[in-house]
Structure 1
Amino acid sequence: MDSLTQAALGAAVGTAVLGRRLGPRRAALAGAVLGTLPDLDVFWPFDDPVDAFVLHRGATHSLVVQALATPLFGEALVRGFRALREHRRLAWAAVYLCLSTHALLDAMTVYGTRLLWPLWTEPVGVGSVFIIDPLYTLPLLVAVVWALCLRAWTPRFGRVLAAALALSTGYLGWGVAAQGIARDRADAVLAEAGIAPERTLATPTPFNTLFWRVIAIDGDRYLNLYVPLLGGADAVTAYVHPRGGDGCLAGVPVAGTLSRFAHGFVRYERSGADWRVADLRMGLTPSYVFRFAVAADRGGIATPVAPARVRTARSGDGDVDWLLAGMAGRAAVRTAERDAALDLDAVRLAARPAPTLSC
């Protein structure tokens, strides 16, 4: 999740555990600092942009490593605050809860978090909440701002804090349920069209959990199905795009690294002499957040080059209106994908294969 949300979550958790001992203000500040510590791995000197991408949310986000680090930070709290000298266990509990809730919240996004590193190195990414979602963050911010205005704990504030934590946690639960609904609706559309994809993934569109994108990998093409939860089956829209074959990049190890990290939800692109790999899970076609140039065409052969991140615009013309329409349950054509749109009432998806890329 974004840094503001993680700081707000850490502050709320820290206040819930330590607020009665330290006072809401100091507990919130301590919790906010602890809640942002796991993201300090962004300053680690990785070898290249691809390593920085796939190895982020590693050791610092591991529940195992966080447990081992808890005594260190817990003692820092005990020594830093006289009021905690006789409450060492409480301080340690606050540290671990602030660190671990950061990791667990990140695991709810699609990026992936290595929760059990080094015991188990596969990243966990539920994908049921967008990386920035105001409805999750706002209840926490209200409680944190209130805490920063208080010097002493009050029963009324305690009720507000409990409500904020309950609302934000409940919202995550709703996101998981909504994800299942969106996936089921997309599966029904695909089945009716005669498509049996290799794999599908449902993720929310930006800033909400009412409008979902379901990616379906089908050979050397992929489909984007946009599913408004407030609309019926007729509100679902679909677009088909070339995925490109990975055969052209078979000799480029970093392309395989990106594909494994994204569980196969990648697109292989050719731009001039450059070969690129885009992670389909984050961003909207064609403006994917993580796209890397990994090879160059030299004499008809894709030759590995030093990976470089290729940045693109985050949104296209008309995306705001399209997003609002989807959240309201209405079907709307996305301008950036108009040429790839499918008429689900008149065209069987299987009858319109997408073009493939040649090496």
Structure 2
Amino acid sequence: MDSLTQFVLGAAVSTVVLGPKMGPRKAAILGGVLGTLPDLDVFLPFDDPVDSFVYHRGWTHSLVIHALAAPVIGEALVRLVRPLRTERVRTWLAVFLCLSTHALLDAMTIYGTRLFWPLYPDPVGAGSVFIIDPLYTLPLLGVVLWSLSRRHWSKALGRAVSTALIFSTGYLALGLGLQAHIEARARVLFREAGVEPEKVLAIAGPFNTVLWKVIALESDTYHNLYLSLLDTKTPPQLYSHPRRSDLAACLEGTEPYEKLVWFSHGFLKAEERDGAVVVSDLRMGMTPDYVFRFALAEIEDGRVNPVEPRRAAGTRVMAEGDGDWLVSRLLGRAVARPAEPGPEVPTEKAPLRCPS
């Protein structure tokens, strides 16, 4: 999630646990700092852009590491902060909760979090909440601002912070339920359209859990559906696009490509752009532009030559007309997306030679 959300989540957790002992203002500041610590991994050096992409939210987001770090950080706080000197267990618990709730919240987004490293190295990412969701963040922000304005603890403040945490946690649980509902509905629509997908994934739309993007993978095609909880009986449009398995085949076995396959759980497409083979993570962004796109090879005289990975030249994440279209689809209106035409007609591609 975004940094503000992680700060207010950590601040709210710390305020509930430590506020009665050290005051809500100090507890909120301490928790906000602890709640942002896992994201300091952005300053760790990586070999290339692919490694930076797939290994972010790595060991710093592991619940195992948090369990080991909590006594160390907690003991330092016990020794440094006078009101906590007789509250060792409470302080250790507060540290663990501030760190672990950060990781657990990140695991609700689609990016993925290596929650159980090193016991289980794969990232966990539900995709049931967008990386910025005002309905989740604003209640926490409100009670944290109240906490920062108060030096002394009160039962009314404690009830408000607890209520905000219960509401935000319930909202996450609701998102998981809505995601399962949308995926089930999408499978029916795919079946009615004659699509037999290998994988289906529903992802919360921008800033809300009313509109969802559903991706279905077939061998050389991916399909997009945009479903709203407010949809009428009019079936939404299905958008189908090539995945260019011929290009992907030339990258199989190369380390950067295999890392992207592992990290995205196969939700990738390959395409040719300006003489380069660009691989995009289909889960983040919308056709034709995606947030994470990497040039992994160059095409010269019909031959695909792997190169050092680099971030592909940026394009707009939101295409022209997407703002109005998103609002219309969120409200359940069955309107076509201007930036994403209907099924693409396959064209003859010159045969490519893969590296031997």
For 1:155, the aligned partner's letter is K
Structure 1 residues 146, 304: CA separation in 2 closer, same or farther (over 3 Å shift)?
same
What is the deviation of 1:91? 0.6
What is the deviation of 1:248? 2.8
What is the deviation of 1:232? 3.1
Residue 295 (str. 1) matches residue 297 (str. 2): yes
Task: Name the counterpart of 2:326.
Answer: 323
Structure 1 residues 235, 192: CA separation in 2 closer, same or farther (over 3 Å shift)?
closer
Residue 5 (str. 1) matches residue 5 (str. 2): yes
For 1:72 and 1:221, how far apart are their aligned partners in 2?
50
What is the deviation of 1:75? 1.6
For 1:322, the aligned partner's letter is W
**Does structure 2 conserve the Cα–Cα contact (< 8 Å) formed by 1:221 and 1:353?**
no
Q: Give the SS at the match of 1:157.
A: helix
For 1:356 and 1:190, how far apart are their aligned partners in 2?
26
What is the deviation of 1:357? 5.8
What is the deviation of 1:224? 0.4
Matching of residues 332-343 of structure 1 within 5 Å: 332-337=335-340, 339=341, 341=342
Task: Name the counterpart of 1:229.
Answer: 229
Task: Name the counterpart of 1:347.
Answer: none
Matching of residues 1-359 of structure 1 within 5 Å: 1-245=1-245, 246-250=248-252, 252-310=254-312, 311-337=314-340, 339=341, 341=342, 354=346, 359=352
Q: Give the SS at the match of 2:227.
A: strand
How many equivalent pairs are there? 348
**Does structure 2 conserve the Cα–Cα contact (< 8 Å) formed by 1:242 and 1:357?**
no
Q: Percent identity?
A: 55
For 1:75 and 1:300, how far apart are their aligned partners in 2?
62
What is the deviation of 1:355? 5.1
**Does structure 2 conserve the Cα–Cα contact (< 8 Å) formed by 1:230 and 1:327?**
yes
Task: Name the counterpart of 1:348.
Answer: none
For 2:32, the aligned partner's letter is A
Q: Give the SS at the match of 1:278.
A: strand
For 1:296, the aligned partner's letter is E
Structure 1 residues 98, 81: CA separation in 2 closer, same or farther (over 3 Å shift)?
same
Q: Give the SS at the match of 1:215.
A: strand
For 2:259 and 2:349, how far apart are their aligned partners in 1?
20
1:181-236 superposed Cα distances (whole Å, 9 cap, x missing partner): 11111111111122110101100111100001100011111100011111134252
For 1:161 and 1:204, how far apart are their aligned partners in 2?
26
1:38-88 superposed Cα distances (whole Å, 9 cap, x missing partner): 001110000111001001111000000111111121022212310000001
What is the deviation of 1:334? 1.1
For 1:250 and 1:70, how far apart are their aligned partners in 2?
41
For 1:268 and 1:116, how far apart are their aligned partners in 2?
30
For 2:328, the aligned partner's letter is A
For 1:315 and 1:228, how far apart are their aligned partners in 2?
19
What is the deviation of 1:252? 3.2
Q: Give the SS at the match of 1:207.
A: coil
Q: Give the SS at the match of 2:131.
A: coil
What is the deviation of 1:353? 6.4
What is the deviation of 1:320? 1.2
Q: What root-mean-square deviation, in Å, do the aligned CA atoms of Structure 1 and Structure 2 show?
A: 1.5
What is the deviation of 1:154? 0.9
1:319-349 superposed Cα distances (whole Å, 9 cap, x missing partner): 1111111221211211110x2x26xxxxxxx
What is the deviation of 1:354? 4.8
Structure 1 residues 187, 58: CA separation in 2 closer, same or farther (over 3 Å shift)?
same
**Does structure 2 conserve the Cα–Cα contact (< 8 Å) formed by 1:107 and 1:124?**
yes
Structure 2, unaligned stretches of length 5 or more?
none
For 2:100 and 2:129, how far apart are their aligned partners in 1?
18
For 1:59, the aligned partner's letter is W
Task: Name the counterpart of 1:346.
Answer: none
For 1:191 and 1:354, how far apart are their aligned partners in 2?
22
